[in-house]
Every structure is written in structure tokens, then in C-alpha cells.
Structure 1
Amino acid sequence: MDPDFWVPLLLPLAAWPLARIVTPRLPPRAASWLLTTGCLVLAAAGTAALTLQAFAGLTLVPAIAQAGHWSPQALKPVNVPLAIGCGLLLTALGMAFTRTAVRYARWSCALTRELDEHNSAAGVIVLRGREPVAFSAPGRGGRIAISSGMLDALGPAERDALLAHERAHLRLRHHRFLIAITLAATLNPLLRPLCSAARFALERWADEAAAQHIGDRTVVAKAVAKAALAGRAEPGFALAATGGPVPRRVSALLTAPARRLPAALLSATLVLGVTGWSAQTVLDSATDLHQNLESAQDPATDAQGIFPDEDEGFGR
């Protein structure tokens, strides 16, 4: 069996150690872009590998071979059980992908309708209720929802820090990153550790943006810690200051950011190398399949040229 088939499927198994190496050594912005891109490329490569293997099985179907003008007997041997398994798995993943996309669309519409019922001041909606909750929603140009319970749990400076964090999510379009990595993890569940690392990098990116805006990293760290202790996990697909491993975020805020250019370059090279390897193996597999089909078309073409239609050859 061609090892190129397994490379894009098994590379995501290295996601967790790769994420542990990359995330602390890269600035949050660079880590967010790099990890999100890696998730998308690896998910696309795995899906393409399954598609190519399933299509290789379909090339043996007489009706498809006739439509493509190739001879099934002239094709290289195809692992039919594997092709069937890939087709079934591809169908299941496609259904999960569609279900997740529909869930996101419905959640976004429902949340927008719910927030429309409240008055907004400078893009901030104060929800009545003692339950501490705060999150950013991308609809209607971007709004921040925060409950009165969360406001009571924070001091004035910490409220400003929390709002700066949520505004950073909206300004930097982090919701687009989030839906991308969520769909990537749906297409390939093995990518979930890498997608979790990408989501953590997004929270760190917003933390750093808030710290730069407030001018005090300690205040932002206190706001994140208090919000996490008082609140709950972010609702649905929303981004919130309580997301991700909060102790690691607080520790990073309380530590002065260090410049680690060699380590950062090595980490970026590692991620790009893994994703490039995955994409290249899929491209090689697609090229091999194309060449196989082209070579299988020759016998059919020759046969048509050698054995002309009897009516054309002898009836006239």
C-alpha cells in the first residue's frame, strides 16, 4: 500500500506534542495564524487523501470506467475494502462537517436575535442576572455581552481590562479563526489538540492586546483570573475571557514577554514542515492516480483505433 496515503492521516497524531512545543515559543499573534493555518492544511490534506482513495475504488466501477474512457483491467491494483472504508468515513465526516456548520449558523442567528432584544451602549450589552458571564458576539458589527453579575465581581480597572479583551476579539476577527479551527477539528478529530492550542493562542492574543491597551499586565491578569473564577465557560461558539487554560494565561501575563527569535523560527519551521509534508504527499498521490488513469486509457483508445466499426469498415 502506498505510504503516501497514511502520511496526511497520521501526521495529526503529532498535534499535541507539536502544540506544546510551538505555543509557548511564538508570539500569540504568530501562533494563532500558524496553528490555524496548520489545522486547515492538515484537515484538507486528510480529507483529500480519503477522497483520492475512495475515488480509486470508484474507478473500477464499469459505468464510471466507461464514462472516463479507461480500462479497469489496465489500472494498478486497488485495495477495494480500504476504498470502501474511506468512502464511508468520508461520508460520515462530511455529515459531521455539515452538521457543525448548520449548528454554527443557527447559533449565530439565535444569539443575534436574543441580543437585539437588549439595548446596546457603545457595542456593550448589559444582561440582567446574577450569573457572571461575558463574551463577544460577531453579529451586527460585533457586540459584547456582559452580565451584571460579572460587573459586580470585578473592580473598575478590571472591567476595563475585560472589555478591552473582548473588544480585541472583535477587532482582530478572532471568530473567523474560531470557526475555521472548529470545522477543521470536525473534519479530522485527531486535530483537536492542535485546534485547542490555536484557540488558546487566540485568547493569549486578546490578552496581550488588552494589556497593551490598558498599559498594565497585572490588571489584565487579575481580570482574567477573577472572571474565570466567577464565571462559566463561554456559550456555544463564542469567545470569552474565561476560555482556555486560565492559569497559563495568567502566568504569561505576569511574566514579561521574552524575545526568543531562534526558538520561534524553529517552531515556525517545524509547523510549516509538517503541513508542507502533508500537502506534498497528497499532491503526489493525486499525480500518481492521474497518471494511472491516463495509462489505462491507452488500451481503450488503441482498441478503438485498431478495430473500427464494422459498418464503417465493410458496409460502405
Structure 2
Amino acid sequence: MTITVYLPLLLAAVLAGAAPRLAGRGAPGPAARSLAACAVVAAVSSTWSLTMLALTAFDDLPPLAALDDLAAPELPEPVPGPVALLAGVALLFGSLRLLADGWRRLATHRRLRAVGTAEHGLVVADWSAPLAAAVPGRPGRSGHLLVTTGLLRLLDAEERRVVLAHEQAHLAHRHHRLVAATAAAAAVNPLLAPVRESVAFLVERWADEDAAAAVDDRDLAAQAVARASLAMAEPGPAAALGINGGAAVLRVRALTEPAPTPRRRLLVGPALLGAGCLAAGAAATVEFVALARAWL
């Protein structure tokens, strides 16, 4: 097999390097969607490449191993044994990370849903710990907002409007799906961890912009985001969902500037990387099929 089979891994690394730069420019919504889609494509392509590399290890098993002693120079050589072994180990650990992330996310959802019954889409928990979270609903349900009395006591009425609008934006745009998709991609391919972090930041920025538009006051939104983010800086359920108050300084700074406008040209790079992953995966598959036919 040629270098084509390794290209999805290389392109995933390039995407990871470009993600933080894209996260800081243009409108957050299109960037979040684009990076999440490309991360999933890169994860699937790289996982398939690792699978093909791992499958070449079967040439060392009987009866294929007997062919190594035959004088058949026309048979193509698979990848070296250590490479196939490493690919198999990477697949195993990726699967375990994916299962662990999915289990943790589902457990967090169940715990937050069990806090109380929503009234008019809102649950107010009598907790001293400051927390606000968008709780995704079960299939067929829209979900609800969860806020604690500890957070409400820290904010005035106008700041509460901003926080509730922010969390409502998470629900309305189903940000938990984008975050979960990129988290799954990073679980199976750790090279994509920077993309996961960039998407988590972008959905926060997206919700910030929606909240600022809802209250029609960017300065008020910046003030509320600063106070709420600092209060909720400790790890907790919101952090487990991947939608937390991280990078508060960058978010507040962005709200003190004019609202960003979509810049579609910034999305060309991720789109090309995604297309490259698909093309490389397809080419590697053709090579793998030819190799398998020759050996079998």
C-alpha cells in the first residue's frame, strides 16, 4: 500500500492546526458547523485508514503466511507488521475512548434531567453552586434550561436575561450535537482534539451573539458573560457536556467589538481538507481491494 492510506491522518493534523485560527475569525455559527462536519469526515476517514492498515496483519496468519515462501514476486507487499500492529492498537484505544465519552455524556444528561420537572422550559434548582446549562431533551423532546439559585443571586435582572438567552440559543441550535460529534471524532482520533476545543468555543460564541441580539446590548451581554463565566469556572455538569464558560476573556473581548459578519471564504480551507480526506480514503480503498484480491 502507498502513502495514500496515511493521508487522512496527515490531513486530520492539518485540520487541527487550522481550527484555532478559524475559531477566532468570522461568524461563529458557520465556522462551528464547518469544523464539526470536517472533524467527523476526518475521523471516519482516518479510522478507515487504520482499519485497512490493521487488516494487512492477516497476511502473517495461515494460510496467507505460506505464500511468503513462494516465489511470487508479482504479489504486492502489504505494510510492515509493526505498522499494522500499531494501527490495531490505535483502533482499540480509540474505541474505548469513544465508549467512555459517550457513557459520560449520557450519564450527565440523565443526571441533569433528574434535577426537576421543567415549567415553561425552565428548572430552577436550589443549589448554592452557580450553574446554568441547556439540558438536551430525550428523542422527540426539545429539552429545557437549568439554572441554580446560586447563580441567580450573583446576577441582576438584566444579566439573568442574557444568561437565559445564551442557554436558550444552545437548545435552539442543538449545540450539544455539534459538541458531541467533535468529541466523538477526537475520541477516535486524538489529533482532532484542537478541533473539539475550537467547536466548544465557537458554540459559546454563537450563543453569546444570540444573547446579545436578544437583549440588544452588547455591553450588557459582555458583562453578564464575564460574571457568569467566572462564577461557573469550576468543573461540573456543564463542563461534562462540553458547553461551558471557558475562554471567557476571548468571549468578552469579542462582545465589546461589532457583531461579526459571515466570511465564507474562511470555510473553503476546511471544506477542501474534508474533500481531501474523502478522496484519500477512496484511493486507499481501491489500493486495499487490489491488494486483497492479489493475496486471496
Partner of 1:90: 91
Partner of 2:285: 286
CA–CA distance in structure 2, aligned partners of residues 239 and 210 of structure 1: 19
The secondary structure found in structure 2 opposite 1:51 is helix
Contact in 1 for aligned 2:232/2:245 (Cα 8 Å)? no
Partner of 1:14: 14
Q: 1:129 to 1:272 in 2, by over 3 A?
A: same
Contact in 1 for aligned 2:76/2:294 (Cα 8 Å)? no
Q: 1:276 to 1:33 in 2, by over 3 A?
A: same
Alpha-carbon offset, residue 202 of structure 1:
0.7
Alpha-carbon offset, residue 65 of structure 1:
9.4
Contact in 2 for aligned 1:135/1:239 (Cα 8 Å)? no
Q: 1:238 to 1:295 in 2, by over 3 A?
A: closer
Partner of 2:274: 275
Alpha-carbon offset, residue 258 of structure 1:
4.4
Q: 1:32 to 1:72 in 2, by over 3 A?
A: farther
Question: Which range moves more in the overlay, 100-109 or 149-158?
Answer: 100-109
Partner of 2:166: 165
Identity level (%):
29
Q: Which amino acid in the other structure matches residue 24 of structure 2? A: P
Contact in 1 for aligned 2:124/2:146 (Cα 8 Å)? yes
Alpha-carbon offset, residue 148 of structure 1:
0.9
Unmatched 5+ stretches in structure 1: 298-316
Q: Which amino acid in the other structure matches residue 238 of structure 1? A: L
Q: Quick one: which of 130, 133, 139 aligns to 2:131?
A: 133
The secondary structure found in structure 2 opposite 1:146 is strand
CA deviations over 1:8-43 (Å, ceiling 9, x no partner): 223333345302331233311101110101111111
Contact in 2 for aligned 1:234/1:243 (Cα 8 Å)? no
CA–CA distance in structure 1, aligned partners of residues 5 and 295 of structure 2: 21
Question: Which range moves more in the overlay, 160-169 or 118-127?
Answer: 118-127
Alpha-carbon offset, residue 120 of structure 1:
2.8
Partner of 1:61: 61
CA–CA distance in structure 2, aligned partners of residues 215 and 239 of structure 1: 27
5 Å-filtered alignment, 1:24-173, equals 24-62=24-62, 75-78=75-78, 79-113=80-114, 115=115, 118-139=116-137, 141-173=142-174
Q: 1:276 to 1:72 in 2, by over 3 A?
A: farther
The secondary structure found in structure 1 opposite 2:24 is helix
Q: Quick one: which of 236, 240, 244 aligns to 1:237?
A: 240
CA–CA distance in structure 2, aligned partners of residues 153 and 64 of structure 1: 69
Q: How many aligned positions are there?
A: 286
CA–CA distance in structure 1, aligned partners of residues 100 and 260 of structure 2: 42
The secondary structure found in structure 2 opposite 1:6 is helix
Length-normalised TM-score, structure 1: 0.83
Q: 1:289 to 1:239 in 2, by over 3 A?
A: closer
CA–CA distance in structure 2, aligned partners of residues 20 and 272 of structure 1: 16
Q: Which amino acid in the other structure matches residue 244 of structure 1? A: G
Contact in 2 for aligned 1:72/1:296 (Cα 8 Å)? no
CA–CA distance in structure 2, aligned partners of residues 258 and 129 of structure 1: 36
Alpha-carbon offset, residue 167 of structure 1:
0.6
The secondary structure found in structure 1 opposite 2:147 is strand
Contact in 2 for aligned 1:135/1:238 (Cα 8 Å)? no
Contact in 2 for aligned 1:169/1:239 (Cα 8 Å)? no
Q: Which amino acid in the other structure matches residue 177 of structure 1? A: L
CA deviations over 1:83-142 (Å, ceiling 9, x no partner): 1221122112112212222222233223322x2xx3433111111132211111113531
Contact in 1 for aligned 2:230/2:245 (Cα 8 Å)? no
Q: 1:229 to 1:109 in 2, by over 3 A?
A: closer
The secondary structure found in structure 2 opposite 1:135 is strand
CA–CA distance in structure 1, aligned partners of residues 71 and 83 of structure 2: 17
Q: Which amino acid in the other structure matches residue 247 of structure 1? A: V
Alpha-carbon offset, residue 192 of structure 1:
0.7
Corresponding position: 1:248 with 2:263: no
Q: Which amino acid in the other structure matches residue 6 of structure 1? A: Y
Alpha-carbon offset, residue 2 of structure 1:
2.1
Question: Which range moves more in the overlay, 286-295 or 248-257?
Answer: 286-295
Contact in 1 for aligned 2:143/2:171 (Cα 8 Å)? yes
CA–CA distance in structure 2, aligned partners of residues 129 and 259 of structure 1: 39
CA–CA distance in structure 2, aligned partners of residues 187 and 202 of structure 1: 22
Length-normalised TM-score, structure 2: 0.88
CA–CA distance in structure 2, aligned partners of residues 85 and 112 of structure 1: 41
